[in-house]
Amino acid sequence: HGLGRAVTRRWAKGGDPQARLIADPDVRADPFPIYDEIREQGPLVPTRIGYVTASHAVASAVLRSDDFRTTSVSTSVLPPLQWIERRTRTGALHPLEPPSLLSVEPPTHTRYRTLVSSVFTARAVAAMRVDVQAVADRLLDEIVAAGHDAPVDIVTRYCARLPVAVIGDILGVAEADRDRVLRFGEHAAPSLDFALPYRQFRTVERGLVGFDRWLGDHLAALRRNPGQDLMSELIRAQVDGEHLADDELRATAGLVLVAGFETTVNLLGSGVRLLLDHPDQLAILRDEPEHWTTAVDEVLRLESPVQLTARIANTDVELGGRTVARDGFVSVLLAGANRDPGVFADPNRFDVRRPNANRHLAFSGGRHFCLGAALARLEGEVGLRTLFERLPGLVAAGAGTRRSTRVLRGWASLPVRTGTTA
Ligand code: HEM
């Protein structure tokens, strides 16, 4: 029982900034000073478990290089993660395990990605604007219809529901199943983190196994009775005359579903919070709504919903004045790169008109660049804009609580008053 905590405590000692980032619970609320500290130590900083970077140039180079591959739970060099892995032999799919898109490389990666990419191109996504708008309006109608001025948790009522409704429509998930799917995602999310407290362990396992079973049943139902949704398409799909094997299908559909709502909720929640905290910036958007697209990128830059990722070297690589040995581990602090003062002037400032806000790495880069980036940006823009335009009297009604996860950064709850008395 105490093993996880003992490992964690041992790691947090000794001042290694990477270890503090992983293991120090106090750092979770505000990891940014540690990102700065790491960046100030150099573009690529050696730690006890490999290298870490918070430099925009080095992070971009690693993500775009063919000399690196993505990591997975079982190839992780992080002892706590290996420890977790040994205890989750449930057979359930994990988003960081093959055959998930996130953890495979070409030619397998190309094969899976080709199957799903056409649904998420900028053009295909632009056509979804009316649907996203309809979802946002329906959710806000429900909140306004409740119509008194008691505090409402905007995260559970809106920020979480909008993305799951949108991706649920794309994937053919019935409305009745969506709250369950959200709960699985919430339970399983800490499995992306490096140091998982033991007491969360069973919850995570329940989330992963529950989601996997639900997905298996859902796919079986679609096989009997296919629709026009992406999951049904995948069932029908053939690439080079080859059907996806059952586990490939489950992994691909499962990742698209989970990635489709577990991250966007954080973009929306952080966006609400930043705009409530910066009325001057909100006023700019009210007067000049053409800045909404930049505002969404600025939220992604400043509060990156996926704070970090990692890569493993395929060969010895010269980088940032160092040599990463073959099979060496590099932790890529996307959120640290996004506050690199060499790229973003006055990087901690929230500026909805920042000219280069979209140079952020919140969607990663290279071949694993977020498949859903265009959709996420659309949901961010329509979701936030509709909220603030329809509820001009929206105000915070309390401090809110952060999500306890480290890789995923966002809000678990944000109480607001809508300012309506309908
Ligand atoms: C990959 C972030 C929304 C689907 C990624 C990666 C990041 C990311 C950082 C790459 C990780 C790495 O390189 O190791 C985000 C953020 C989102 C978001 C911040 C919202 C604000 C979405 C949505 C979808 C989606 C809405 C739904 C289609 C995926 C998929 C991958 C991915 C399938 C794997 C791509 C590959 O490995 O080729 N996302 N994502 N994401 N994302 Fe997103």
Share in percent of the chain as helix, strand, coil (round to 5): 55, 10, 35
Ligand 1 centroid to Cα of residue 370, in Å, is 4
As a whole number of angstroms, the distance between CA 373 and CA 144 comes to: 30
CA of 166, closest atom in ligand 1: 26
* Ligand 1 atom nearest to CA at 255: 33
- Residue predicted with more confidence, 1 or 374: 374
**Could you tell me where the DSSP H helices lie in 47-174?**
56-64, 79-86, 108-117, 122-126, 129-146, 154, 161-171
Architecture of domain 3-417: Orthogonal Bundle (1.10)
Least confident of 44-53, 196-205, 373-382: 196-205
**Tens of pLDDT along 198-239?**
667 778 778 888 888 899 899 889 889 988 888 888 888 755
Give distance in angstroms: CA of 306 to centre of ligand 1: 9
Which helix H or strand E contains 332, and what residues bound it? strand 329-332
pTM for this prediction = 0.92
The half-sphere exposure of 314 on its side-chain side, counting CA atoms within 13 A, is 9
- Its ipTM equals 0.99
Higher pLDDT, 317 or 112: 317
Cβ of residue 34 lying under 6 Å from some atom of ligand 1: no
**SS3 call for 240:** coil
If 0-12 CB within 10 Å is exposed, 13-18 middle and 19+ buried, where does residue 370 land? middle
Q: Candidates 64, 263, 302, 312: which one to mutate for ligand 1, based on the most atoms within 8 Å of Cβ?
A: 263
Report the distance separating Cα 361 and Cα 346, nearest Å. 17
**What's the pLDDT score for residue 22?**
73
Query: Does 19 score more than 70 pLDDT?
Result: yes
Q: How far is the CA of 255 from the centre of ligand 1 (A)?
A: 9
The answer, yes or no, to whether residue 33 has pLDDT greater than 50, is yes
